[in-house]
Structure 1
């Protein structure tokens, strides 16, 4: 596991996929005329070449894998051959305040942030998975008894709602919308138990026909198990996973986006975790009366999670609670997302004494509803 930590640190420090994304967006700005398709194919081949050069340092980065899948889809949609000419190198960037200097694309959050602040944005990570467990933006970790609907995020950019239920059957939904007219059309992504689609509910895989439509994309990384939604226009990547009839949610988003809320928006699991009375102890045995012993659950979880951290503890809790050995995948997937999303590899693992209430949990995380409401300021 020390080797994994080292790899995660290297990936976080040296992955340059954002440069490939920016180069592609620049190359495809204002494409028009009879040669539009040929120029688009050249840009896609250049984009593909750029991602191949970053493959070694980006193999654990979800944005990288999203870009690779997106390129393949776009090349198929536009009948582009993999061999052929590529876009010429971009000219050197103009110096600010000099003739020819232009503001960056408003639909690329990171590019805009660097242009405005002369530094990259600070990112934060939150996750919800299992029965359910919450990792907040501030790296607090709790297991919660939160039946009903609870907001994971509720701010000027994002509204993410999680619904839990004590029954196994249920539906789950993740929706995305953003009324930023210059960039994308309103989109909703919805999933149900045992159904994790690879498209928005209107059948599209991007933000629509508007100039910034490509700044919102959805990619199926593992059919039926792992979907990624990438919202470049707010610098946010969301992963939704399905394991043993549970859905999990992970997000990497800029600090500016995560913390843009008012005093009235004071109930957010990703920010404040669940209320004290709703927290349960992971050491509590068998919340659902599962038929797997602690020793068996310990062995099953150790195969995927060799470090005895909160992900391992959550895995043992979930497997005992559900009696389903396949639920080891929920904690494992959450840890993999954290490796890709968390900005500080040293904080990847959380080791803490479980001092929460001893009350038993009776909830399974089954539903997500995510909305990106209107926000008119362009960073």
Structure 2
């Protein structure tokens, strides 16, 4: 299946863009005070529009979960209803949110969207979702216990890592280096949406790095309400967007928790209700993300959710070959130095070593090697099969960046390897 860029594919549904735009605009602004609950208005709007579809399919209809296809007119009417409800929510918050930048940004965004989609000011509003019926069993919000109770065994876990220039280790243990820029979805399933933003590195090099990571935990039964997390370069908070460090307490257990080992540079998020662990960290001048999640959670998505870098990697046209990095400006001798530096830190000649060499060559920054080291350590912590941690590098069929001294570079790298 050919993957398509979320920011460039012409058939991407406009409603998906609205979801992300509203959330990212608000999250990029200063933290909202406790008395101003504009993030709740935002969460209610997103929840009201989830069932309207968020696909990049070329069809003109959206398919809500368990329902029939909706026409484009019905989808637009649903969005107008949700926007009117969102507008009413902001009006109720007017006094508490006076002077708050996030609030005023939301108000302006709603105004623009109402005009853009020609929504009448008067009309029906979105009805709040009814609470789930029935009583959940004691272990429903604890994925591992619930799974063991049903299956009599522990779940199979999958791992995805994204780091460096950026490099991606997919859930199927494929390793790729991507030339992507802008915002791309890493995961998009029934429980979780994870998006990474890649930007050109400093210094005028051809390298790109992860500069922003956004994680959306979707509303799930009585376990959690929708929760948002965002990290940016030089700001990796040990808290969710609303300032909380845990969410979804039930029978003494918390479904979502955040903690840190290095304030401002590391965050570990545990989602007990889906048995998932996410680690966000800054290494050098880039962000990295490592994920460990059960197969049943990873594969809980529909055909319309067809762009997930952790599932299928980056589009073929955006893949780079880590075995053929572009030469540094100071000749191939710098490549030998990069290889020696990475060999001292990463003795195994696996994909993490190759990524380390690639990042040093493309960036010229010794600190860039820490991204591969951290990603490898996360992989060791998340992959139970020790032999499966190290992947052998495989040449990619994807394009490479301009390389005018390729033969010299490869020859010297090979000579250095033979000496080691």
TM score, norm. by length of structure 2: 0.58
Structure 1 residue aligned with 2:390: 349
1:282 and 1:103 map into 2 onto residues whose CA distance is 49
Cα distance change on mapping 1:312 and 1:248 into 2, 3 Å: same
Alignment of 1:113-192 (within 5 A): 113-168=147-202, 171-192=211-232
1:232 and 1:209 map into 2 onto residues whose CA distance is 11
- Residue 358 of structure 1, CA deviation: 4.1
Structure 2 residue aligned with 1:36: none
Structure 2 residue aligned with 1:221: 261
Structure 2 residue aligned with 1:78: none
Structure 2 residue aligned with 1:234: 274
Cα distance change on mapping 1:290 and 1:143 into 2, 3 Å: farther
Structure 1 residue aligned with 2:144: 110
- Residue 353 of structure 1, CA deviation: 2.8
Q: Is the 8 A contact 1:184 1:213 kept in 2?
A: no
Structure 2 residue aligned with 1:43: none
- Residue 252 of structure 1, CA deviation: 0.4
Q: Which one has a bigger Cα radius of gyration?
A: 2
Q: Is the 8 A contact 1:147 1:166 kept in 2?
A: yes
Alignment of 1:302-313 (within 5 A): 302-313=343-354
Q: Is the 8 A contact 1:183 1:211 kept in 2?
A: no
Secondary structure, aligned partner of 2:380: helix
Secondary structure, aligned partner of 1:312: helix
Secondary structure, aligned partner of 1:251: strand
Structure 2 residue aligned with 1:332: 373
2:386 and 2:227 map into 1 onto residues whose CA distance is 33
- Cα RMSD, aligned residues only: 2.4
Q: Is the 8 A contact 2:278 2:289 kept in 1?
A: yes
Cα distance change on mapping 1:290 and 1:175 into 2, 3 Å: farther
- Residue 217 of structure 1, CA deviation: 0.3
1:197 and 1:186 map into 2 onto residues whose CA distance is 18
Structure 2 residue aligned with 1:316: 357
TM score, norm. by length of structure 1: 0.64
Q: Is the 8 A contact 1:103 1:115 kept in 2?
A: no
Corresponding residue pairs, total: 260
Q: Which has the higher contact order (CA 8 A, sep 6+)?
A: 1
1:352 and 1:327 map into 2 onto residues whose CA distance is 19
- Partner residue of 1:254 out of 294, 302, 305: 294
Secondary structure, aligned partner of 2:232: coil
- Residue 113 of structure 1, CA deviation: 0.4
2:181 and 2:175 map into 1 onto residues whose CA distance is 18
- Residue 170 of structure 1, CA deviation: 8.4
* 1:243 aligns to 2:277 (yes or no): no
- Greater Cα shift, 162-171 or 247-256: 162-171
1:111 and 1:170 map into 2 onto residues whose CA distance is 35
